[in-house]
Structure 1
C-alpha cells in the first residue's frame, strides 16, 4: 500500500477511536532538543523524573533501530469543572490539576495508540513500532511540535489551535516512511503572561523551565517541602495550572469530548481533613485510577497539611495534632507541626510544645521549632 493512502486511512481511523489530533514527523535526531536538555542538566533544572539517557531522549533510532517516522497524537481534556464544590470554613478542599481529572491519561492514550498500532499492523503486517505516553524516553512535546500538533509555548506546553494547551500527548515510533507534516508557527509573540504569573518564577525564560522550582513538580516530591514554596502552594494537592490558566490561547477553551476525563467532584477537589487519615487501601480504591495518585498518598497528605495551614483551618486542629503525635512518617509529623503553627491558636502552640517532649527525630523537631516561631510573628 502506498504510504500516502495509508497515512489518510490512519488519520480517518484515529478520529473513529477518539484521537482529537494526529500528526506525522520524521525520526531524525532532535538536535536542538539535545542542546536544550544539556543546558537543563548543566543548570540542574531537571525534575529527576526524566527517563533515559540524553541520546535515548533525542535519537529515536536508539529506541527503534529501524525508525523512519513518528506518529504524534493529542487528546483534549476539560479546563473547567461543572458545578464544582466550594471550599467552606467547615470543609476546606484541595485541588488536583486538570491533567489529573478523570481516568489516568496514560491508560487512555496507551489504549488509543495500541488500537492505532493494531490497525496499522493489519495493513502492514511487517511493521515495527514502539508506543510511548509521557513516561517514555522521547519528549512528547518535541515530537508533537515537529509533527504539527501545535507550537511550543513560553510555558513549555504544546499549544494547539483547536484545544489550546489542554491536551494529552503520546507517540508511536514506526519503521514506515510517512511524509512528515509541517510544524505550526510559534504564536506567543511578545506575550509573557505565563512567565509573569508563575508563582515561583520557575519559567526562567520563554520556553525554559526550572523544574526544581515548578509547583507541579514540587507537589510530587516526598520530602519536606522547602519553606519558600509552602506559602505558594495554596490548596494544590497535585500539579499546577497557573501558566495554562493565564494563557490567552486558552481563553474560552473547555473541551468536554471524552467522558473518561470528566472530573469526579470529591476526587478532583477532595476535602482536606479526611486526606490526613486515609488508609493505603482506601487511597488506592478512591484515587488509584487518577494520574495524580502515582506517587502514593504521602506527598498529597503533606500538601493537604500545608493547605490546611494556608487556610488557617481551626476545625482541623484536633486531627492535625493527632497526626503530629502519632503518624509514623517524619515528613508528615513535621509538616503537621509547621501547619499547626501557621494556624496559630493557643491550642496549636501548646500541642506542639507538648509533642516536642516525646519527639526523637531531629528534622521533625526542627519543623516544630519553626511552627512555634509563628507565635512571635503574629
Structure 2
C-alpha cells in the first residue's frame, strides 16, 4: 500500500510501464517544431520598423489583446485563427506601413478600464499562410481611448528612467549645468532621499537577481543583460520571474527601472511551487533546470501563449494524454499533458525523448502553479497571529 502511494506521489502510473514504452509506435522523424519564430519558413515577410518615438508623444495604433504580458525588448509569438483574419491583416498592414501595434494582457481586469498601461510593439515577421507572426516589445505606453470601429487605440508613450522622475522637481535651476552625479548629491542633501546611492542599490539588487537565476538562465546570459543597462535588465528580469500575469503586469507599470528591479527581486527565488487550485506541492527550487537555447514563452497551435518553467522532476501529478510529437516546442521530444493528482488542474507537459539528453523533463505553465518564495514566507511568519503563538506556548508549558 505504501509503495502505491509513493508511486502516485511521484506521478508514476499504476501499471508500472517503463518510460520508453510510452513512446513506442511514435516516429520521432515526424516531429516538427511549431514555427512561431518563422525561422525556416520561406514565405515569411520581414519588417524593419525605424519610426522614431518620443516620450509622452501620442498617436493612434492598432490594438490587440494577448494571453501574456509583453515587456519592451521581449519577443512574443502569436497565432491567429481563420476567423481572426481581419485582425491579422490589420496588424500586418501596420507593419508594412512602418507602424506599431499596441499589445495588452486580455485577462487583466485593470485593462478593462481606461487609462491603462500597455506595450507598443512592432511586427518583426509574419506568415500569412499560417496566420502567425512574431512581435517585439518596443516601449511602454498608456492607452487613453479607443476607436472600436477601426480597432485602434490612442496611446501616450511613457518615458524610460533609471532614477525616479521626481529628481528635477527638487533641484534649483542653476543646477542644470551640474553633472548627473552632482545633481543627485544636491537632491539628496535637499530632500534626504538617497538619489546619490540609488544606482548602487539597484546594481546590488540586480546582482542578487543574477545570483538567484543563474542556474535556470545561465550566468553569461544574465551578465550580458546587465551590461546593457538597468532599464533593459529590469525588463529582462521581469520576464523570468516565478509568478503569474498579474504580478508581471504590476512590474510593467513600474515607472522606473530601479523600482522594477527591486519589485522583481523577491520573485527570483522560489522555495516551492504548489498547485494553484489545491496547493499540493509540485516542485522545489532545486528541480529547476535549463536547456541550451531555451525560450520561456511558447504558443500552441490554437494561439494561446504559455510561459513555462523547465523542471527535472516534479511530484503529485498524473498523465492526462497520450504522447505526441505534434507541434512540439522541443525537437525530438514527445509531450504528454499532465495534471494535478488531487484536483486535476492543468499543470503543463512532460517531455520524453529516445534520442536526446535529458531523456525526460517537465514544462510547468506558470498560470497553473502558485509560487512561494522565502520573502513571502517570512512575511507570513511576521504577520502570524500572536495569540496562536501564545496558545501553542501555553500548551507546551502545560505539557
Scaled by the length of structure 2, what TM-score is found? 0.26
When Rg is computed on C-alpha atoms for both structures, the one with the higher figure is: 2
Richer in helix (by share): 1
Richer in strand (by share): 2
Scaled by the length of structure 1, what TM-score is found? 0.27
